[in-house]
């Protein structure tokens, strides 16, 4: 499982938790006060935003073009991506890192 896959899994889990929290406050038998609900919701939203930032800014990598097989090699995750030489990929589709260098 790649780092991006793990972040997606975390985001999905947080969405489920937020949905569950919203259902809790709407329940007539809930013992959660509105203030507690707001604090918990803010905490979950903060985790959600941090996970998104981590996904978008998961580091950088260098890619090298392997000309005889029309493949790009990501030096960060050591995976190959079949794509033409131009244009150079902007992000690795496997690890999500931004491609740097010439």
61 neighbors 92 (Cβ within 8 angstroms): yes
In the structure encoding, which two tokens stand for residue 60, read together?
């950088």
60 - beta bridge partners? 98
Percent of the chain residues past pLDDT 90, beyond the cut: 1
**Residue 97: CB atoms within 10 Å:** 21
Give pLDDT tens digits for 8-37.
787 778 888 877 777 766 666 667 777 887
Q: What's the pLDDT at 4?
A: 66
pLDDT over 80 (residue 1): no
Find all residues with CB under 8 Å of 32, minimum gap 6, and list them: 24, 25, 40
Can you tell me the mean pLDDT for 43-68? 75
């Amino acid at each position: 499982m790649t780092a991006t896959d793990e972040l997606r899994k975390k985001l999905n889990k947080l969405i489920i938790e937020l949905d569950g929290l919203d259902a809790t406050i709407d329940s007539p038998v809930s013992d959660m006060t509105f203030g507690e609900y707001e604090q918990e919701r803010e905490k979950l939203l903060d985790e959600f935003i941090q996970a998104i930032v981590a996904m978008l800014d998961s580091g950088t990598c260098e890619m090298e073009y392997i000309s005889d097989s029309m493949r790009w090699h990501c030096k960060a995750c050591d995976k190959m991506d079949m794509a033409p030489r131009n244009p150079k990929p902007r992000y690795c589709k496997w690890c999500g890192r931004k491609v740097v260098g010439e």
